[in-house]
Amino acid sequence: MATQSKDSRERLGFAEAVAAHIAPVLAAQGFACTKAKPLVVRFESVAMVLLVSHDRLSYEIELTFLQKAHPSQRYTLHDILDAVLGFGHKEQFLFQASDRDRVVACVRAIAELLDKFGKSVLAGDSAICQRMAAAARLRNEAYTKQVVQTPIRRAAEEAWRGHDYSKVRELYESIEADLTPSETGKLNYARKKMES
């Protein structure tokens, strides 16, 4: 998919939408806009930097937070929501827009989430930043586990369909702590078949 030209991206009004909807939320927390380009708007406070960007290829609207004291530690809207609401919350955190109306709607929704859930982060609260780091770590661990376990589950399911109970047992035992009830039943069945 080809990206839009710079002129057509400017017509989406991303920077203007950020100025209209996100900037007031941030100004109330002591942030000022330090850079505004068609695809990136940067805000800074005494302790924090917030980048609001509109991805050139995916059209995803993203927030990146960092504490000036720890610039290598970056956080996202997802991290804020996980830290405040807990892992597995149901709030929307992915926003994508390729037309002007959708850009405004997404930016407005992000501003509402920041206003509702982000005030302690925007204030530079170190405790919430620690919770965001912990939430990000948990989410990354869960994702890594999924990446590792998905091929094991597929291979176990294939072995199950092929009645290769030795392989079913071997594969499911390698991830036994994370098995679903159905997979646990298949593992128990495979164990019984191997004993007989």
Give the pLDDT confidence of 41-64 residue by residue, as tens digits. Answer: 999 999 889 999 999 899 999 999
Q: What is the pLDDT of residue 7?
A: 58
Q: Please say if the pLDDT value at position 78 is more than 50.
A: yes
Q: What is the pLDDT of residue 1?
A: 44
Query: Which residues does 70 contact at the CB level (< 8 Å), separation at least 6?
Result: 129
Of 101-105, 124-128, 154-158, where does mean pLDDT reach its minimum? 124-128
Q: What is the pLDDT of residue 127?
A: 81
SS3 content of the chain, % helix, strand, coil (to 5): 60, 15, 25
Give the pLDDT confidence of 86-122 residue by residue, as tens digits. Answer: 766 777 788 999 999 999 999 999 999 999 988 888 8
Prediction pTM value:
0.68
CB atoms within 10 A of CB 192: 11
Q: Which residue has the higher pLDDT, 181 or 137?
A: 181
Q: What is the pLDDT of residue 153?
A: 94
Q: Taking residues 5-28, what's their average pLDDT?
A: 87
Q: Which residue has the higher pLDDT, 105 or 136?
A: 105
Instruction: Give the residue extent of every domain in the chain.
Output: 6-124, 142-195
Query: Which residues does 145 contact at the CB level (< 8 Å), separation at least 6?
Result: 178
Residues 130 and 73: their CA atoms lie apart, in Å, by 10
Across all residues in the chain, what is the average pLDDT?
87
How remote is the C-alpha of 12 from its chain's centroid?
24
